[in-house]
Amino acid sequence: MSHFAAIGRVPGDPILGLLDAYRADPNPAKLDLGVGVYKDALGITPIPYAVKLAERHLVEHEPTKSYIGGHGDPVFGDYLLQLVLGADNPLLRDGAVGATQTPGGTGALRLAGDFIAANLPGRGIWLSAPTWPIHESIFATCGLRVEHYPYVGADNRLDVEALLDALQRVPAGDVVLLHACCHNPTGFDLAPRDWKRVLDVVKARELLPLIDFAYQGFGDGLDEDAWAVRLFAAELPELLVTSSCSKNFGLYRERTGALIVRAQDAGKLIDIRSQLAALARNLWSTPPAHGAAVVATILGDPELRGLWAEEVEAMRLRVANLRNGLVAALVPHGLAGRFAHVAAQRGMFSYTGLSAEQVQRLRQEFSVYLVSSGRANVAGMAEERLDYLANAIASVYTP
Ligand code: PMP
């Protein structure tokens, strides 16, 4: 008998399949706007110089490779709490917030999902439609009831009224996942007045927010992007936040992130953290150390921290300039108004509003690769290629 004979095949990640097609395309004019990593003007996903310097320091000074605890490096945890919540946040003094280091933001989401399943039985989790596809699969795998609230209307605009309307009908106690900034895949972010309205509904319906914070520094700035997280942490006694250092520290493959919990008081936080450590023990035992050590080294050294903050700002500005540049390049085609949303969106991603058929034509006729939903990774564009891209869009676009 074969143990494995009945095992079938599942489809691969469609975005990675797109990358294979891009690599095989011989057209020298090709453009990859698919995979969601930051790229510089040379098309490279760089290692920030501050990270290189911190690694050099660690090579010389790291004393041991023995296990770190279930919550990871406490120094990393403290610095990350300061980065996310603000260094002078009174919650840090009260001991009502804690960070559990995880393998990337993905690990934090998985730990959050397992925590909800184990400790808050019966709660559903509400995701924006659309959201990052891995949200769907992680929480389904955790055994949670996965539900959706509307986010983008048929006219490719953020539909705040539909979002609020749906949240009003979410069963009390359910978890609602919100993107702190740079919404993936759409690039549409809530304005401060929208966040306040969402907060009111969260309070009235007694919902538990889980805020996914994967792009701190890529929207409007490191502190600006944390505004909603800090508002929710100040206004609500209980909150979950997943933080990723993949994009803003360029540490993608080092798997660096944390699940941040804000509890009613320091005593309850200790209970919750005991649960998290027990769950993490079964998932990865203790988290990978290197990326967190790099982050702790950078955030603990004023000079490295300043250098790093400048590097994040440069990445942010490059993407923002490309957004404006694309809209400007569409002016001669009479399409600047139709695509004005590209400049208003935040972060690396843009829901362009192009249809699956138009995306297909972009790829076949111009070797421009987008996800079929019409999501473009703006960081994949190059300034000197914006005219080519604008011409390609104008050729396939019919409203
Ligand atoms: N959340 C969102 C919305 C993301 O886009 C990503 C990365 N693509 C993550 C979480 C997880 O990032 P990582 O696990 O690489 O830190």
CA of 6 to the centre of ligand 1 (A): 33
pLDDT by residue (tens digit) across 149-206?
999 998 899 999 999 999 999 999 999 999 999 999 999 999 999 999 999 999 999 9
Query: What's the 362 CA to ligand 1 centre distance in angstroms?
Result: 27
pLDDT at residue 354 in the model: 96
Alpha-carbon distance of 171 to 169, in angstroms, equals 6
Confidence label for 98 from pLDDT (cuts 50, 70 and 90): very high
Pull the structure tokens for residue 228: 């909603």
CB atoms within 10 A of CB 365: 11
Residue of minimum CA distance from atom 2 in ligand 1? 214
Q: Please tell me the distance between residue 315's alpha carbon and the centre of ligand 1 in angstroms.
A: 17
Pocket test for ligand 1, best of 80, 132, 137, 186 (most atoms within 8 A of CB): 132
What percent of the chain stands above pLDDT 90? 95
At residue 241, the 3 state secondary structure works out as: strand
Closest Cα to atom 5, ligand 1: which residue? 184
Residues assigned a catalytic role: 132, 212, 247
CA 339 to mean position of chain CA atoms? 23
In the prediction, which pLDDT does 315 show?
97
What span, in angstroms and rounded, lies between the C-alpha atoms of 153 and 163?
Answer: 10
Pocket test for ligand 1, best of 106, 248, 253, 348 (most atoms within 8 A of CB): 106
Query: Which atom belonging to ligand 1 lies closest to the Cα atom of 245?
Result: 16
- Taking each continuous run of H as one helix and of E as one strand, the counts in the chain are 15, 11
pLDDT (tens digit per residue) in 207-250: 999 999 999 999 999 999 999 999 999 999 999 999 999 999 99
Give the C-alpha separation, 174 to 123, whole Å: 5
The CA 377 to ligand 1 mean position distance, Å, reads 14
Residues 350 and 341: their CA atoms lie apart, in Å, by 9
CA atoms within 13 A on the CB side of 108: 29
Which residue's CA is the nearest one to ligand 1's atom 6? 214
Minimum-distance ligand 1 atom for the alpha carbon of 255: 16
Mean pLDDT, the chain, integer: 96
222 CA from centroid of ligand 1 (Å): 17
Residue nearest to ligand 1 atom 12, measured at CA: 105
Residue 35 clears pLDDT 90, i.e. is over it: no
Q: Residue whose CA is closest, atom 4 of ligand 1?
A: 214
> What is the spatial distance between Cα 217 and Cα 229, in angstroms, rounded to a whole number?
13
Nearest ligand 1 atom, CA 104: 16
Q: Which is the closest atom of ligand 1 to the Cα of 252?
A: 15
The answer on pLDDT for 17 being more than 90 is no
pLDDT tens across 110-160, in order? 999 999 999 999 999 999 999 999 999 999 999 999 999 999 998 899 999
Structure tokens at 241: 């936040």
Count of beta carbons in the 10 Å neighbourhood of residue 349: 26
- Kindly report the protein residue whose alpha carbon is nearest to atom 7 of ligand 1: 214
Question: What's CA 10's distance to the chain center, in Å?
Answer: 25
Within 6 A (CB) of ligand 1 lie 36, 104-106, 132, 179, 184, 212, 214, 244, 246, 252, 257
Distance 51 CA to ligand 1 centre (A): 19
- CA 105 to centroid of ligand 1, rounded, Å: 5
